[in-house]
């Protein structure tokens, strides 16, 4: 008997979810049309849309055109019925977004990280969430999940930041520490590269792609890999560490202990230090004047600006960077056969000065069958990618385990 009741309940949840997806996709839509599109009986549609209206996931928005009989009442998805908090934690700041069920950002806040001590960081994140709740006027019970994108190596199952060198964390149970402060709200964490990939998949440039790779090219280099629509975490969460794959077998030593890692040749720091070495060796370049002789001002942004002005040395630096990135991307394309490779992070600022030589290297090196299907594009959501991805993760998990 219990089992029977259980399976009826499950059937009801599945049908509710089918109806909700139909309203999302085709709304405003009448009950009769939902019944036609889903093959569910009019009685079932009527009962379950009643539930969904009570739960505020859908709403009635007036009458549609008559097809002979009474004018039907139209239903629409209520994307502001509930909200999710997306949080991004990096070595310098905390960014937070209040996101609705359509994954649109309603409001965004950020604060400089006041202290790296874990207790203080947790407190600062919690206070920022509370501040957003207060200021937005959204009630706490309307928040159905919190998603956090964090730097470092993450055990997503246990919700632990295993190691984050940049802020000196080891084995910090980030998920549970945040959860404690917000009673029943489910919390999920993952690393920034994975969540950026998910963000682009759910609400950015890769909506139609099933298999994609997001490469974060910043101070570090990491990849988020989405296979068949799901983040690929690897066996113990360490998939996507592309920055530490070898591109020069006898290259200089990397902080990971290996030699000749991609990060040594193509991270933001690597690009800036290549420019600085050139300046110190008195290479002829506009960057000398542009930096006013101050080495601190030689950044990725400056190298990109110099390239725009046609500076030969800057263009050479981008070409060199594109070579190493292109080799790595060609390898990734050969192994994963993705539809899309998305590039995000500070390095993407160089635009065509990076993309053109990089695409050339990929064309030369990737297998033609895999290369012909792939598009290499800049991130559409930019700095918001991981925030939206964090919210998308929380929404996905909450839907799977709890409500609909």
Q: Is 258 in the site for Zn ion (CB under 5 A)?
A: yes
Beta-bridge mates of residue 75: 29, 60
Q: To the nearest whole angstrom, how small is the minimum distance from the Cβ of residue 341 to Zn ion? A: 21
Residue 140 vs 256, nearer CB to Zn ion: 256
Q: To the nearest whole angstrom, how small is the minimum distance from the Cβ of residue 340 to Zn ion? A: 26
Q: How many positions of this chain bind Zn ion (CB under 5 A)?
A: 5
Residue 17 vs 258, nearer CB to Zn ion: 258
Beta-bridge mates of residue 169: 164
Q: To the nearest whole angstrom, how small is the minimum distance from the Cβ of residue 254 to Zn ion? A: 3
Residue 205 vs 261, nearer CB to Zn ion: 261
Q: To the nearest whole angstrom, how small is the minimum distance from the Cβ of residue 221 to Zn ion? A: 9
Residue 260 vs 389, nearer CB to Zn ion: 260
Indicate the helix (H) or strand (E) that contains 223.
strand 221-227
Q: Is 252 in the site for Zn ion (CB under 5 A)?
A: no
Only one residue has tokens 């949080």, namely 87
At residue 336, φ and ψ (nearest 5 deg) are -100, -15
Q: To the nearest whole angstrom, how small is the minimum distance from the Cβ of residue 318 to Zn ion? A: 22
Distance from C-alpha of 195 to C-alpha of 323, rounded to nearest angstrom: 27
Q: To the nearest whole angstrom, how small is the minimum distance from the Cβ of residue 258 to Zn ion? A: 5
For the record, the structure tokens of 205 come out as: 């440039």
**Cβ contact 266:347 at 8 Å:** yes
Q: Is 244 in the site for Zn ion (CB under 5 A)?
A: yes
Distance from C-alpha of 303 to C-alpha of 317, rounded to nearest angstrom: 8
Q: Is 256 in the site for Zn ion (CB under 5 A)?
A: yes
Q: To the nearest whole angstrom, how small is the minimum distance from the Cβ of residue 376 to Zn ion? A: 23
Q: How many CA atoms lie within 13 A of 154 on its CB side?
A: 23
Residue 47 vs 258, nearer CB to Zn ion: 258
- Strand, coil or helix: what is 116? coil
- Strand, coil or helix: what is 353? helix
Q: Is 106 in the site for Zn ion (CB under 5 A)?
A: no
Q: Is 242 in the site for Zn ion (CB under 5 A)?
A: no
Residue 332 vs 381, nearer CB to Zn ion: 332
Q: To the nearest whole angstrom, how small is the minimum distance from the Cβ of residue 193 to Zn ion? A: 15
Q: Is 254 in the site for Zn ion (CB under 5 A)?
A: yes
Please state, in angstroms and as integers, the Cα–Cα distance from residue 99 to each residue in 17, 82, 86, 287, following that order: 20, 9, 7, 41
**Cβ contact 182:174 at 8 Å:** no
For the record, the structure tokens of 186 come out as: 């489910």
Residue 125 vs 264, nearer CB to Zn ion: 264
Q: Is 82 in the site for Zn ion (CB under 5 A)?
A: no
Binding Zn ion by CB under 5 A: which of 261, 314, 381, 390? 261
Residue 88 vs 244, nearer CB to Zn ion: 244
Nearest alpha-carbon partner for 221 in 186, 188, 254: 254
Of the candidate spans 47-55, 187-195, 236-244, 245-253, the one that interacts with Zn ion by CB under 5 A turns out to be 236-244
Of the candidate spans 51-59, 253-261, 280-288, 375-383, the one that interacts with Zn ion by CB under 5 A turns out to be 253-261
The helix-helix angle for 42-54 and 31-38 (nearest 10°) equals 120
Residue 156 vs 258, nearer CB to Zn ion: 258
Q: Is 143 in the site for Zn ion (CB under 5 A)?
A: no
Nearest alpha-carbon partner for 85 in 136, 143, 124, 130: 143
Of the candidate spans 49-57, 247-255, 266-274, 297-305, the one that interacts with Zn ion by CB under 5 A turns out to be 247-255
Distance from C-alpha of 287 to C-alpha of 167, rounded to nearest angstrom: 32
Tally of residues, the chain: 404
Of the candidate spans 81-89, 150-158, 255-263, 288-296, the one that interacts with Zn ion by CB under 5 A turns out to be 255-263
Question: Residue 255 burial by CB count (10 A; 0-12/13-18/19+): exposed, middle or buried?
Answer: exposed
What strands lie across the sheet with 73-77, from one edge to the other? 29-30, 73-77, 58-63
Of the candidate spans 243-251, 274-282, 285-293, 391-399, the one that interacts with Zn ion by CB under 5 A turns out to be 243-251
Q: To the nearest whole angstrom, how small is the minimum distance from the Cβ of residue 244 to Zn ion? A: 4
Task: Catalog residues that contact Zn ion under the rule CB under 5 A.
Answer: 244, 254, 256, 258, 261
């Amino acid at each position: 008997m219990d089992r029977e009741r259980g399976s009826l309940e499950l059937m009801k949840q599945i049908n509710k979810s089918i109806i909700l997806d139909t309203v999302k996709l085709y709304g405003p839509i009448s009950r009769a049309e939902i019944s036609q599109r889903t093959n569910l009986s009019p009685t079932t549609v009527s009962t379950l849309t009643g539930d969904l209206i009570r739960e505020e996931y859908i709403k009635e928005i007036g009458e549609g055109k008559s097809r002979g009989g009474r004018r039907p009442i139209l239903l629409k998805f209520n994307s502001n019925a509930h909200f999710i908090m997306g949080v991004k934690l990096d070595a310098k700041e905390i960014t937070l977004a209040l996101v609705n069920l359509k994954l649109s950002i309603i409001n965004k806040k950020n604060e400089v990280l006041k202290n790296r001590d874990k207790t203080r960081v947790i407190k600062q994140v919690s206070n920022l969430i509370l501040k957003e709740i207060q200021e937005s006027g959204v009630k706490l019970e309307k928040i159905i999940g919190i998603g956090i994108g964090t730097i470092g190596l993450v055990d997503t199952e246990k919700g632990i930041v295993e190691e984050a060198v940049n802020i000196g964390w080891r084995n910090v149970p980030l998920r549970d520490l945040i959860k404690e402060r917000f009673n029943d709200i489910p919390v999920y964490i993952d690393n920034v590269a994975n969540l950026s990939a998910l963000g682009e998949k759910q609400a950015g440039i890769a909506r139609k792609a099933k298999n994609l790779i997001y490469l974060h090219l910043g101070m570090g280099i990491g990849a988020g890999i989405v296979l068949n629509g799901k983040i690929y975490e690897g066996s113990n969460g360490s998939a996507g560490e592309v920055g530490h794959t070898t591109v020069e077998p006898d290259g200089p030593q990397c902080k990971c202990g290996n030699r000749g890692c991609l990060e040594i040749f193509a991270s933001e720091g690597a690009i800036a230090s290549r420019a600085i070495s050139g300046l110190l060796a008195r290479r002829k370049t506009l960057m000398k004047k542009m930096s006013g002789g101050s080495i601190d001002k030689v950044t990725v942004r400056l190298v990109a600006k110099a390239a725009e002005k046609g500076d030969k040395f800057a263009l050479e630096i981008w070409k060199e960077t594109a070579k190493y990135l292109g080799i790595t991307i060609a390898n990734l394309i050969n192994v994963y056969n993705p539809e899309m490779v998305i590039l995000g992070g500070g390095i993407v600022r160089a635009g065509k000065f990076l993309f053109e030589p990089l695409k050339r290297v990929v064309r030369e090196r990737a297998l033609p069958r895999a290369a012909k299907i792939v598009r290499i594009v800049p991130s559409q959501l930019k700095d918001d990618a991981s925030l939206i991805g964090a919210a998308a993760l929380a929404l996905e998990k909450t839907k799977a385990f709890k409500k609909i």
